[in-house]
Each structure stands twice: as structure tokens, then as C-alpha cells.
Amino acid sequence: MVERTLASREVFAGRLLRVRVDEVELDGGKTASREIVEHPGAVAVLAFTAQRELVLVKQYRKAAERLTVEIPAGTLGAGEEPRACALRELKEETGFVAGTLDSVCSFYTAVGFCTEVLHLFVAEGLQAGEQACEEDEDIEIMTVPVPAAMDMVRDGSIVDSKTVAGVFWAELFVAGNPRALQLRQGRAA
């Protein structure tokens, strides 16, 4: 069940994304076209305050044409390691500096058409500081208890996929679920 690339052509190259169309051969000899969005990858951070509340950011997202509530996140720079990016994005978007930063997992955001891999981290021991948002960002910071964040997922206030996944993981983590703690510590089978 492997698709062999016969030809590939770039159809768009932007500042952040590239789009290509691959002609592939399927098992059995048939051919098909695949439209692929190339993305450099990203990070997202579940940042917990000392009161065990999640740090969230509220910002307008043009693609969704609405204000969204999300966990802090951002795109990897060229050659940037995910851990360094997570620390940078947390500081830029929220002003917080993490005392500890642990990797949770990495996953494709839209495996059917996009190469973006998102690296999810947990940050604790937060020290407050000044936001350093990029010029085109207008970000409001909020903190909410994890059960309230779950309610926001249920009522449609949180619709961003990385945040939905992160909030579900936080629900396990805050509840002290041993499996989630093993995942956090990289020991799960």
C-alpha cells in the first residue's frame, strides 16, 4: 500500500507554504493526482500556571473569519529545533518563560493533504514577562481551568484542532491519569 511518485510539480510558493501536485502510481498500476501542501512544521504548548490553569491565547484568524481561542503555538523557523521554537513562541505570544518543558507527542495536522507535523509540549513553572508578539499579531492572553477549557471545546468556543487535542490531553494530565503521565515522561509503550 505505497504510492510511488511518478512526477511532481510546484503550483504555488508563498512565504509560509508551498503547494505541489504529485502524480502517483497506486497498487495495481492505476494513477492518481495528489495535491500536497508543504509546511515547515510547528509547535504548540500546553502551558500550566501554578494554579493548574491552562494559558490560552485569543486572536483573529482570517482563514476561519473569527476570533479563536488556542494554546500558544507557532511555525518552526528554518533549521529550528521544536523545543527551541516552543520556548520562543510561548515567550512571544504570552510573555511566559517555562521552568520546565516536556515533549508530549508529534502528529500530522491534516495527514490527507499537508506535510505539517506539530510538536506538542507541556510547560510548567511559568515565570511571567512581557509579550513580544510579531508585528502582525494581536493576541489576548487568558487562563482557564482545564474543565472550563473542555466546556469551551464542547460549546464550540475552541475549534482549533491542535487546541482540541491539547485540551483533551490536559484533561488526562490534570486528572492524574497514569497513562497520560507515562506519555508525558516518554515511557508509554
Burial of 55 (0-12, 13-18, 19+ CB in 10 A): buried
d(CA 2, CA 63): 32
Cell of 147: 474543565
Determine phi and psi for 158, rounding to 5 degrees.
-110, 115
d(CA 119, CA 104): 8
d(CA 166, CA 65): 22
Task: Check if 171 is active-site.
Answer: no
- Exposure pattern of 39-53 as b/e (b: 16+ CB <10 Å)? bbbbbbbbbbbeeeb
Determine phi and psi for 77, rounding to 5 degrees.
-80, 165
Q: Active site residue: 23, 25, 137, 171, which one?
A: 137
Q: Could you tell me if 82 and 160 are in contact, meaning their C-beta atoms sit under 8 angstroms apart?
A: no
Which active-site residues does the annotation give? Answer: 137
